[in-house]
Structure formats: C-alpha cells, structure tokens
Amino acid sequence: MDVVRKKLDATSTQIYITAKVLHTFRTVANLQEGNIIHIQYSVTSYEPGWVGPSEVPVLTKDKNYIAYLRKEKDHFVPDALGRSFEGEYTLIDLEPIEELPLEDDTF
C-alpha cells in the first residue's frame, strides 16, 4: 500500500492511497483478490473540543486494514466515516487448545 498526503490548506489534507485487495468479504464493485485500487479522501484537523462524526484515519503504509469503501468513477472513497478502515489485522491459523480438567470448585 502506498499513502500520499497533499496539504490543501492550514486544516485540510488530501489522502491518496494505492492498495492491493487481499481478500473480499462482500463486494458490489466486483473486486477480487489481487486487484489494485485507488482510494481518495480528505482529513481535517479540528480545534480541541470539536464535536461531530469521527474523522477517517490516515492509514499506515505496509499495514493491512478491513475497508468499507464506495466506488466513484475511477477510485474508491471511505463509506463509513471514521469506521471506514477497521484496525490493522493479521490473518492467523488457530489450533484447538486441549481442554484442561477442571476441579469442581474452580468456578
């Protein structure tokens, strides 16, 4: 993933992301694993005490995110405001843990 920031003015920054789709859970845009997509959005720095919807986070390069996006012409935009990119995730294999015998008075 490549992240580029372009300062628009004193409080706004335009974000441009080029990312590779690793997996899709549900897609209307017919995205497939391996597709390269472009994401664009802006972020605004607000004064302390500002109240309103959460800001879309600026992503960190070389990390994986679950993304909620909407297709617009030739790029995608965040579709769930501050929840558009759910924290970094790592896919892991889980193995069953042996059940331990519990004494009757354990709980």
Please give the tally of structural domains in the chain: 1
Give the pLDDT band (50/70/90) at residue 71.
very high
Residue 30 lies in a domain: yes
Instruction: Pick 86 or 41 by higher pLDDT.
Output: 41
Residue 53 lies in a domain: yes
Residues in the chain: 107
Residue 82 lies in a domain: yes
pLDDT value of position 103: 58
Residue 69 lies in a domain: yes
Structure tokens at 85: 């990119």
Q: Each residue of 4-37: pLDDT tens digit?
A: 899 989 899 999 999 999 888 888 899 999 999 9
The rounded distance, in Å, linking the Cα atoms of 11 and 31 is 33
Residue 98 lies in a domain: no
Residue 102 lies in a domain: no
